[in-house]
């Protein structure tokens, strides 16, 4: 057993500080919400750099540090191909989708389906998206809380609460879920974006520190490059070639298709494109995400590859884990980071998971409010609900979805580890993105083509699953069959398209909108650059706390000087952001 640090009171205090910051960000953001436009899309005033950081952070969640880390530990260099695939997807977004989404001129993500297809399509997606989204929230909470509660050592403890006896894992789900729902419900998209930016700061500092430390430890005191040389010589045979799934061209092709859809037509991303002032900002956002998606994953993948040599028998270290390799990244943190920074890295994992979940909450609330609640109220009473009533409906939606997601996290099963479960989940939900992407690129199909394409793909895949066809390649089967069937049905429906059909008017109007650039007034284009001061203040606070953590006793492998390095990095970043904020013109 390596000399691991275990979380102590200082680490828990830093985790508590992070939660307090997140709640404060939600309260601060609430002041920016004067109407539902501000609440759901930031009033189109969110700076593109801030929106890009937010979108990038929200795109990977705890999955990257848990499930993806486990995949990397087992398969080696092939993980580089997989987990940098977002780079190519965002480049497609830069050249095509970013501009198109901003020109679509929609208030909520699913409004696109109403304009492109029909209100029936919006209702179909709204209803069918609710359950997968709740499962996604539950999956994220499950991965996060099981892992963190185990690492912090309270997963198997029992706590009495309001007459119920809960495990440490269940208590973690409740605490994290309540905080997540609260700050998202109070602050809306501004809360999501600002908290994501704070998370990006945490992740960047943690990654830049743990990357060199892992190879320096591997080099036995002979330096960073000695560690690189040792990894090259001591890694298992074939570790620097394509292994397992990464050697399967069908799997790689399917993963690329899923990434292309996920990083271009996912509703949370669509919402980010509409949160910036104009299409130029949307394209800059996509380009920033592409750059971060190429550089960022390498800072996590390469240390996990080093962990393959540092912890050759990781199952002996984590015998209680269904997939112990998924503990590889945090094992590095426990080995190499001192108290203080250890709480910092747990906060980073919490940050990533919260970032993805709050995006799901926000777009679901926007969808239920704009596309279900408002039309239903108009139909029942003949009047449009006020902004106050719409925001109340959004708050209720977030609370209900949060409670349901927490319930799913309590009971969700494990399918051979988080990575395998995630593959099955995303392989079945990818089909919903296909008609969205095709509908954006080609607009001369009838109003029912989206529903037909999506339903046909799901039915065919369900039959293949029932009859166990190509069972050993379930992920590739689902993605490729869904893509093929949906594409054939979509373009086949074009034979029934009639421009004179009144139900084609929305698609014709959308086609015209997509040809016209978005022009905004100068006041909106200025954005709200002063919000960088909020992130700067948080960075200064965390940096100061870490400087004081220098005095906390720690292991020889994790000296307190690491806290000083992280603290200085945060203080420098905080001062820079405060300077940007003070020089920014008012919105």
Q: What is the pLDDT of residues 523-579, one digit of tens each?
A: 444 445 667 888 888 899 999 999 998 888 877 888 889 999 999 999 999 999 888
3-state secondary structure of 160: strand
For residue 4, CA distances in Å to 211, 310, 540 come to 18, 13, 29
3-state secondary structure of 159: strand
The reported pLDDT for the residue numbered 562 is 92
What stretches of 442-531 show up as alpha helix (H) in DSSP?
Answer: 449-466, 474-492, 505-513, 522-526
What stretches of 311-336 show up as alpha helix (H) in DSSP?
Answer: 314-317, 328-336
Q: Which of 291-295, 372-376, 437-441 has the highest mean pLDDT?
A: 437-441
Range with the lowest mean pLDDT among 155-169, 287-301, 465-479?
A: 155-169
Residue 215 scores a pLDDT above 90: yes
Closest by alpha carbon to 418, among 544, 499, 494, 324? 324
Cα–Cα dist 28/537, whole Å: 13
The tokens of 546 are what? 């870490």
Residue 489 scores a pLDDT above 70: yes
Which band of pLDDT confidence, cut at 50, 70 and 90, is reported for residue 144? confident
For residue 271, CA distances in Å to 36, 111, 396 come to 13, 11, 20
Residue 124 scores a pLDDT above 50: yes
* Number of residues assigned to the chain: 587
The reported pLDDT for the residue numbered 529 is 62
Cα–Cα dist 128/267, whole Å: 14
Closest by alpha carbon to 231, among 336, 117, 310? 310
Cα–Cα dist 339/343, whole Å: 7
Closest by alpha carbon to 66, among 367, 275, 265, 348? 348
Phi, psi dihedrals of residue 321, rounded to the nearest 5°: -85, 135
Would the pTM of this model clear 0.85, i.e. be above it?
no
In sequence order, what E strands does 197-249 have? none
The reported pLDDT for the residue numbered 413 is 47
User: Dihedral sign, CA of 434, 440, 445, 451?
Assistant: positive
Beta-bridge partners for 166: 159
The reported pLDDT for the residue numbered 88 is 94
Q: Name the DSSP class of 166.
A: E
| Percent of the chain clearing pLDDT 70 (strictly above) | 84
The reported pLDDT for the residue numbered 587 is 42
Cα–Cα dist 228/221, whole Å: 12
- Burial class (CB within 10 angstroms; exposed 0-12, middle 13-18, buried 19+) of 56: buried
What is the residue-averaged pLDDT of the chain? 82
For residues 327-340, average pLDDT: 88
Q: Which residue has the higher pLDDT, 171 or 251?
A: 251
Measured from the Cβ of residue 557, the count of other Cβ atoms closer than 10 Å reads: 16
Which CATH number applies to 9-583?
A: 1.20.1730.10
Domain extents in the chain: 9-583
The reported pLDDT for the residue numbered 1 is 60
Q: What is the pLDDT of residues 239-276, one digit of tens each?
A: 999 888 888 999 999 999 999 998 999 877 787 787 78
């Amino acid at each position: 057993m390596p000399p691991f640090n275990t979380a102590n009171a200082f680490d828990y205090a830093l985790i508590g500080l992070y939660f307090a910051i997140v709640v404060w960000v939600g309260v601060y953001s609430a002041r920016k919400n004067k109407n539902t436009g501000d609440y759901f899309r930031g009033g189109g005033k969110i700076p593109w750099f801030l929106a890009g950081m937010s979108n990038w952070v929200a795109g990977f969640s705890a999955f990257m540090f848990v499930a993806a880390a486990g995949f990397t530990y087992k398969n080696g260099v092939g993980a580089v191909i997989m987990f940098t695939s977002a780079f190519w997807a965002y480049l497609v977004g830069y050249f095509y989708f970013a501009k198109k989404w901003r020109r679509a001129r929609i208030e909520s993500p699913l409004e696109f389906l109403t304009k492109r297809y029909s209100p029936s399509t919006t209702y179909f997606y709204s209803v069918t998206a609710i359950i997968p989204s709740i499962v996604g929230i539950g999956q994220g909470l499950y991965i996060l809380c099981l892992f963190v509660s185990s690492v912090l050592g309270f997963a198997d403890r029992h706590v009495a609460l309001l007459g119920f006896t809960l495990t440490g894992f269940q208590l973690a789900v409740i605490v994290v879920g309540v905080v997540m729902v609260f700050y998202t419900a109070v602050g809306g998209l501004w809360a999501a974006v600002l908290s994501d930016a704070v998370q990006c700061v945490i992740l960047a500092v943690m990654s830049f520190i743990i990357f060199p430390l892992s190879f320096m430890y591997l080099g036995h005191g002979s330096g960073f490059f000695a560690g690189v040389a040792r990894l090259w010589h001591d890694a298992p045979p074939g570790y620097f070639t394509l292994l397992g799934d990464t050697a399967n061209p069908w799997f790689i092709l399917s993963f690329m298709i899923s990434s292309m859809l996920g990083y271009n037509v996912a509703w949370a991303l669509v919402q980010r494109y509409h949160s910036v002032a104009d299409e130029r900002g949307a394209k800059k956002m996509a380009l920033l995400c592409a750059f971060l998606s190429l550089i960022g994953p390498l800072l996590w993948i390469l240390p996990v590859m080093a962990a393959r040599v540092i912890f050759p028998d990781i199952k002996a270290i984590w015998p209680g884990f269904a997939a112990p390799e998924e503990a590889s990244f945090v094992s590095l943190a426990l080995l190499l980071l001192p108290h203080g920074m250890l709480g910092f890295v747990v906060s980073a994992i919490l940050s990533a998971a919260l970032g993805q979940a709050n995006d799901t909450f926000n777009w679901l609330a926007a969808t239920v409010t704009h596309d279900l609640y408002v039309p239903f109220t108009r139909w029942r009473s003949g009047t449009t609900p006020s902004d106050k009533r719409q925001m109340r409906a959004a708050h209720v939606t977030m609370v209900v979805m949060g409670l349901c997601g927490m319930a799913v996290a309590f009971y969700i099963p494990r399918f051979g580890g988080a990575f395998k479960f995630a593959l099955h989940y995303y392989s079945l939900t990818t089909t919903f993105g296909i008609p969205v992407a095709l509908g954006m690129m080609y607009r001369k199909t009838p109003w029912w083509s989206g529903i037909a394409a999506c339903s046909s793909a799901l039915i065919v895949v369900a039959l293949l699953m029932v009859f166990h066809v190509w069972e050993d390649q379930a992920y590739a089967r689902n993605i490729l069959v869904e893509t093929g069937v949906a594409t054939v049905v979509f373009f086949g429906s074009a034979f029934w398209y009639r421009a004179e059909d009144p139900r084609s008017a929305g698609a014709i109007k959308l086609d015209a909108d997509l040809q016209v650039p978005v022009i905004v007034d100068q006041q909106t284009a200025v954005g709200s650059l002063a919000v960088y001061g909020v992130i700067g203040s948080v960075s200064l606070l965390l940096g100061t706390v870490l400087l004081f953590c220098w005095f906390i006793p720690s292991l020889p492998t994790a000296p307190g000087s690491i806290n000083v390095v992280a603290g200085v990095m945060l203080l420098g970043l905080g001062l820079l952001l405060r300077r940007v904020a003070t020089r920014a013109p008012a919105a």
